[in-house]
Structures are given as structure tokens and as C-alpha cells.
Chains A and B, each alone.
Chain A
Amino acid sequence: QQPVQSPQAVILREGEDAVINCSSSKALYSVHWYRQKHGEAPVFLMILLKGGEQKGHEKISASFNEKKQQSSLYLTASQLSYSGTYFCGTETHGGSQGNLIFGKGTKLSVKP
């Protein structure tokens, strides 16, 4: 079942923060986050496994609440390069049986 992302779109000024949410009605094994710029392929940002861990990559971090089957992506002090569409992908099984089902995406626009 497709995860639900919110919000659908966000407009920020450089330096502002944003949070993108991803929730599922099914028990999750993992949550992936990807960013896709216009006309390009999605690029992997990070993966979170069940266990409620939080990961970070420079000023982009994410958390996974296993009880709520919800993940959030945090973008702090946004830069122009952060613009793009962010997709979460969820797996209900790990290992060789897992496949990613993607949400509808959140379009992020960072203005100067």
C-alpha cells in the first residue's frame, strides 16, 4: 500500500527549515528518502530501518517512528540546491523479498 506524504508542496526562503512526513498503514521494515530534480533520476538520500533510529547527512536528517509507522525528513537552513521533489519509499519486508513503494512526493522550492 502506498505511503502518504505531506505536505504536497513547500516553498521556502534560503535558510528556512522544513519537515516532510511519510506515513504508512502497514508495519514497515524500512523507509527510504530520495530527492529528484527536474529532468533527472531520483537520488538516494538515506535509509531508516525499524528501530526508531535517526540519521543525518549534513543539514538533512530523518527519523522513523516504528510505533506510528511514520518517518519525517528534516531540512535545516535550506539551500537553493535543496529544491526538488522528495519521495519516501517504504518496504514491508527486508532482504531479498523487499520492494520499495513510493509516495506521491513533496515538491520543495527554495527561493533566494
Chain B
Amino acid sequence: EADIYQTPRYLVIGTGKKITLECSQTMGHDKMYWYQQDPGMELHLIHYSYGVNSTEKGDLSSESTVSRIRTEHFPLTLESARPSHTSQYLCASSFPLGGVSGYTFGSGTRLTVV
């Protein structure tokens, strides 16, 4: 069973639309992340959070924004979608002391902007 949930699984949307990708986890993890991955390619960190009301930008510049109002919820928003945003978005979470556990990834959202 999945402990981290992403919705929707697939999304096709027109240019200029506002979208929110949902991510929720039931493990009580403080740390959460958003990665962007093109098919067969590497994972790029775009946002992360250390806990409630904490959000930071990752290494890859992104036009998206995130919020962390509740521990279990870490949504990602694109105010105005463009074809260049077409990609897979993976949400992940971990315990702060990462020495004993790795990241748990959600199944991802495959976004296509037409």
C-alpha cells in the first residue's frame, strides 16, 4: 500500500491554465520534496520543506510554488502552465534523521501542457 499519494496520476491541460498537483503522506514525515523528471532522465530537486511553514527552492529553477500548511500535505502549483512544464513530477518524503531511512516516493503526476 502507498504511504504517499499523488493526484492526479495523469493530467493534460491547456497553456495558461492554473494547476495544483497534490501530494499527501501518512507517515508523519517532516521533510517533503518535489522532483521533476523527464522520461528516462535524472531527477531534479525543485522544492523542499523541512516542516510546516517551511519551503525552499531546489537546485532546478522552477516557475512553480509550494506550500506546507499541514505536515501531511505538500501541494505544488503552477500559476500559468506552459508546454515547457511538460514532465513528470515526483513527490517524496523522509524523516529528518535520514541516516536510517531513505526517501519514499509517490507514483508521480505526468503533466502534459498543450
Contacts and interface: CB of A to CB of B under 8 A. Distances in A.
Nearest to B110: A39
B107 interface: yes
Contact of B98 (A43, A45, A47, A103): A47
Q: What is the interface of chain B mostly: helix, strand, loop, or mixed? A: loop
Contact of A41 (B30, B41, B90): B90
B104 A98 contact: no
B1 interface: no
Interface residues on chain B, size class:
20 to 34
B97 A100 contact: no
Given A49-B99, A96-B96, A101-B59, A40 B42 contact: no
A95 interface: yes
Contacts of A41: 90, 105-108
A39 to B, nearest CB: 9
A32 B31 contact: no
Contacts of A100: 33, 45, 103
Interface string B15-56: 000000000000000110101000011110100101000000
Contacts of B83: none
A45 B102 CA distance: 8
B112 to A, nearest CB: 15
Given A41-B90, A96-B31, A98-B98, A103 B103 contact: no
Given A89-B103, A105-B42, 5 more contacts: A42-B103, A46-B102, A96-B31, A96-B50, A102-B43
